[in-house]
Structure 1
């Protein structure tokens, strides 16, 4: 029996590539503006692997030490948060002055000068001496942090990466630190400058960002602005980031995704079955038989597959891997074909419910790795650049429509509509699954 050992900070990003990835300590992340140290590992085993692995361990420690040495003090609080913290600490000091009236100005003078003499933070001393001083006006840092904290996003790594990237680009557009820009100063020109900056950005391949990607980033800032205006009581008559004059998207038919034809789907299946991966052939079957998103498939657990119920089904729900877009995407989909039921039955047999259904891809970065591997198989079987893995969703939608399925079925199947719509039409989950399965069989999914 082969012995498998998990090596700290090493994971597989594809079937042929390994990666050393170790997350930076919090202070280092704040200084460097990146989440982790990550490098490809060229060697696969033996002494060469150990040398490379030990090098990355030492290099990580050296970078951490050097970063902290060069930045001995890092305070990422906004001016508003510093003011609030100073006020709280000042009141604590004044209240602790035994035998003195905390409301007396003389008491505050004694406490304040005592704190200054022992080197207390000048902001705290100022708060003791002048408790009625005007607070600083909230900045864009306050806008970002208030939104992230109140919406519960600070512990969601992926969400924070998006927010930090978006506000980083806003900083680039304004050409000044976010803490130097007050929320009150935001005007239409600020919003237009941000839009123009996004439209001028290039991806790694030299192509401009997609129009929808630019619009999504503006939507994040617009949502944060609305939240800050409400929660921080900022005077504002309108949200300047809304209803911007976006250009019309010029996308040729060659750039659009198209449904994958059955001939390509079958050819890709054969290619995957002839490969080394045991996960990819079954993943392809799940994608073509359910129309689910690739991120949703990578996030599946063994317990999400129900083969014993009245209608065999798969539960798609949010977890740390799943790229669930919204509550509408949280759903059950039927397993309509006998072949898919058989392959899933063999895959889940004897396994624990909390295990990833697809072991190689049920991890952080799994959807990206799966996309690369599946696209390699797609490109091997077609020269049409419009054909992507996502085309399986278009294929499922087209097959359901061609079979005559109502729009409620198509949208419910693919997670495009609220469950309340399907429930009002087809009743509870059992009835809904029966109806969806009937159309899935009729559509040949």
Structure 2
């Protein structure tokens, strides 16, 4: 018998699962592209679990739609918006309350009071203007429920007699989203995903000043449930950055960040960085290259060949524009730099990388295939494009090499080893690979000379 219900999928020996694509406009809110829930190994178990799982998915999407339509302002948000609205009317906060003797002659305060009366009149009717015919039922019913915006404006006009509200974690996240993340969809999704875990661990939004070290440990432990320590360390870095930014921008004098120096695993038990990935062997590269040449699409073949011949990061190649490829230069090369469709890792990653041998041939063919397109690889020169390219190439890598420490990025590790074995100096290796040497001198020197140095280094490595 076949299950004929929506969003359900049979996965061979893995059993059944609920799989539902997230609408594109909600992906940033939910921090993922799909909603996946295991339903069990048998058809009967899947049918039994389906109603509950489907209902949960419906609620998840409904809540996301509410968030997409605009997050509900926080207490701090209303406070800030009230001050901004008062400022637009010409009233500032940098003044003192007038004394009783000064009120009558304080023109600024009198103007504030008139503005407040105007706000109040929207909710409390002017009974003097209502004709009284002794029938109380005809009198207008006052609305004593002003909007949050009007309440915040009135409080700002009266110099916020209740004081300044304390910013919360949600305020910190929104500020960071606005001032540091901006329109970067990938970072938006990561921020939402990380803070969803934070809120799950803490149970609710919390005032920044109330979060203690023990709370931070609760967040870490919750994140560690089913996740690698390396991933949790990355998540904790995001939380640290958000709170540090909030402490500075909210002027929280004396506040400390309880997430500082909090690690997912002690350093003596953490996996060394050099052991997380390993370089390919030359035989492995030859095997994978042969498979890609036979099974992969042409653009993936070109990407793989350029990666193998340059040691670039995958995102640096998949996000190239046609204008970044300079095959007619005295030293053919690609230019890796920041643009609207691709971010680079850091400042030193911005560089020119020579094209030699097969990499040059692949670049020429890619330019010809791109035609009048802006991006060299249109299928991957987009947000999340590097992830798609990584997944596509990863399938071919895994078909040839089962070691999980060998990935597409292992080509970059191999190039590092090739440069070392060729006797290329550390500083010249850094020029090729876009690594920081930590030296002030790395910012000096002309682009042409650095390109020539990189070409000489790659020729030695690939000889």
Normalised to the residue count of structure 2, the TM-score between the two structures is 0.72
Q: Distance in 2 between matches of 1:238 and 1:121?
A: 35
**Shift of residue 116, structure 1, vs aligned partner:** 2.4
Q: Does 1:23 align with 2:24?
A: yes
**Shift of residue 321, structure 1, vs aligned partner:** 4.6
**Shift of residue 90, structure 1, vs aligned partner:** 5.7
Q: Distance in 2 between matches of 1:71 and 1:341?
A: 48
Query: Secondary structure of the equivalent of 2:216?
Result: helix
Q: Aligned residue for 2:239?
A: 221
Where structure 2 has 5 or more consecutive residues not aligned to the other structure, the ranges are 1-19, 37-57, 92-105, 126-142
2:109 to 97, 103, 112: 103
Q: Aligned residue for 1:197?
A: 222
2:396 to 371, 374, 377: 377
Correspondence list, 1:32-431, <5 A: 33=30, 75-89=71-85, 103-104=109-110, 107=114, 110-117=117-124, 120-121=146-147, 124-125=150-151, 127-128=153-154, 130-133=158-161, 134-151=163-180, 153-176=181-204, 178=205, 181-200=206-225, 202=226, 208-209=227-228, 211-236=229-254, 238-244=256-262, 246-248=265-267, 249-251=269-271, 256-275=276-295, 277-322=297-342, 324-335=344-355, 337-349=356-368, 351-352=370-371, 355-417=374-436, 421-424=441-444, 427-431=445-449
CA deviation digits over 1:392-425, x for unaligned, max 9?
011000000011111112222111116964454x
**Shift of residue 341, structure 1, vs aligned partner:** 1.8
Larger Rg: 2
Is the CA contact (8 Å cut-off) linking 2:78 and 2:148 kept in structure 1? no
**Shift of residue 333, structure 1, vs aligned partner:** 0.9
Q: Distance in 2 between matches of 1:321 and 1:414?
A: 21
Is the CA contact (8 Å cut-off) linking 1:287 and 1:293 kept in structure 2? yes
Is the CA contact (8 Å cut-off) linking 1:226 and 1:239 kept in structure 2? yes
CA deviation digits over 1:105-145, x for unaligned, max 9?
76366334303237541552464264332121111122112
Where structure 1 has 5 or more consecutive residues not aligned to the other structure, the ranges are 1-18, 40-61, 203-207
Q: How many residues align?
A: 383
Is the CA contact (8 Å cut-off) linking 2:431 and 2:450 kept in structure 1? no
Q: Distance in 1 between matches of 2:148 and 2:235?
A: 38
Q: Distance in 1 between matches of 2:66 and 2:234?
A: 36
Is the CA contact (8 Å cut-off) linking 1:20 and 1:38 kept in structure 2? yes
Moved more, 120-129 or 273-282: 120-129
**Shift of residue 338, structure 1, vs aligned partner:** 2.5
Moved more, 126-135 or 395-404: 126-135
CA deviation digits over 1:177-226, x for unaligned, max 9?
x2xx11222222222222222222x2xxxxx32x2322222222222222
Q: Assess, with a 3 A threshold, how the Cα gap between structure 1 residues 101 and 297 changes in structure 2: closer, same or farther.
A: same
Q: Assess, with a 3 A threshold, how the Cα gap between structure 1 residues 215 and 70 changes in structure 2: closer, same or farther.
A: closer
Is the CA contact (8 Å cut-off) linking 1:102 and 1:108 kept in structure 2? no
Q: Assess, with a 3 A threshold, how the Cα gap between structure 1 residues 300 and 420 changes in structure 2: closer, same or farther.
A: farther
**Shift of residue 242, structure 1, vs aligned partner:** 1.4
**Shift of residue 65, structure 1, vs aligned partner:** 11
Q: Assess, with a 3 A threshold, how the Cα gap between structure 1 residues 170 and 236 changes in structure 2: closer, same or farther.
A: farther
Q: Distance in 1 between matches of 2:197 and 2:60?
A: 26
CA deviation digits over 1:13-53, x for unaligned, max 9?
xxxxxx988522xxx678x63576899xxxxxxxxxxxxxx
Q: Distance in 2 between matches of 1:432 and 1:159?
A: 32
Is the CA contact (8 Å cut-off) linking 1:90 and 1:125 kept in structure 2? no
Q: Distance in 1 between matches of 2:203 and 2:289?
A: 50
Q: Distance in 2 between matches of 1:261 and 1:196?
A: 38
Q: Distance in 1 between matches of 2:68 and 2:200?
A: 26
Query: Secondary structure of the equivalent of 1:319?
Result: coil
Normalised to the residue count of structure 1, the TM-score between the two structures is 0.75
